[in-house]
Amino acid sequence: MSKVCEISGKRVMFGNNVSKALNRTKRRFDANIIKKRFYIPEEDKWITLTVSAATLKTINKKGISAVLKEARAKGHYKG
């Protein structure tokens, strides 16, 4: 499973660990990705999405149908 949010497009970022002596070593910042099932009443079906925690909060606030509509308009979600 790739660490990419299917709704917002959030993905892994890369950067540096910086020590007190300013030595730099590469590291990765993983997105907080969760696999979750959602029920869409308009289509009368369940879908499984991998979403970030921030997107999950947005879905709880706006509703899955509104969020999917916005994601399709932006081109993030094809389903």
- Binning pLDDT at 50, 70 and 90, where does residue 76 land? confident
Nearest CA to 38 out of 29, 30, 49, 22 is that of 49
**Structural domain range at position 67:** 13-74
The reply to whether the predicted model has a pTM over 0.95 is: no
Residue ranges of alpha helices (H) inside 1-79 are: 53-62, 64-74
CB 32 within 8 A of CB 57: no
List, for residues 30-62, the tens digit of each pLDDT value.
999 999 999 999 999 999 999 999 999 999 999
69: CATH: 2.30.170.40
**Which of 58-67's residues contact partners 24+ apart within 8 Å by CB, and which partners?**
59/7, 64/38, 64/39, 64/40, 65/40, 65/41, 67/7
Beta-ladder partners of 38: 47
> Does residue 1 surpass a pLDDT of 70?
no
Residue 8 lies in a domain: no
- For the segment 12-16, the average pLDDT, to the nearest whole number, is 97
More confident residue, 53 or 75: 53
